[in-house]
Amino acid sequence: MSVQEPLLRAYDLNLSGDTLTVVIRKEFDFGSLHQDWAHHIIRQHGGPFTTVAIDMGHVGLVSSTFFAGLMQLHFHYKGLGCPPILLVKPDVRVVRNLKIMRMDTLVTIDPR
């Protein structure tokens, strides 16, 4: 008999009506807690939603894995007709990186 450990994730999900909020926790880039994060969200909450928000108020600069997941979420939810993903309070360095990668037009930003 095996005891299944709970799956550790570095984000929390809040579903309220037609709004999905993903809260990125400060330990997002520690170890492998962030791998396949977007895939897990899509599997759990496929949508469509009137708002998909990613709350980044608890983190600073994030790795490229975050941006890859953001693109995965973008293409999935946009394909369902959802409006652009709302990034809530991202670090100014994240906003700068979005602009450098020309991804800033794919999201709506609620600045810090």
Q: Are strands 19-24 and 11-16 parallel, antiparallel or unpaired?
A: antiparallel
Query: Rounded CA gap, 93 and 60, in Å?
Result: 8
Q: Would you place residue 86 in the very low, low, confident or very high pLDDT band (cuts 50, 70, 90)?
A: very high
Residue 21: is its pLDDT beyond 50? yes
The two tokens of residue 62 are 């994030």
3-state secondary structure (DSSP) of residue 24: strand
pLDDT digits (tens, 9 = 90+) for 39-59: 999 999 999 999 999 999 999
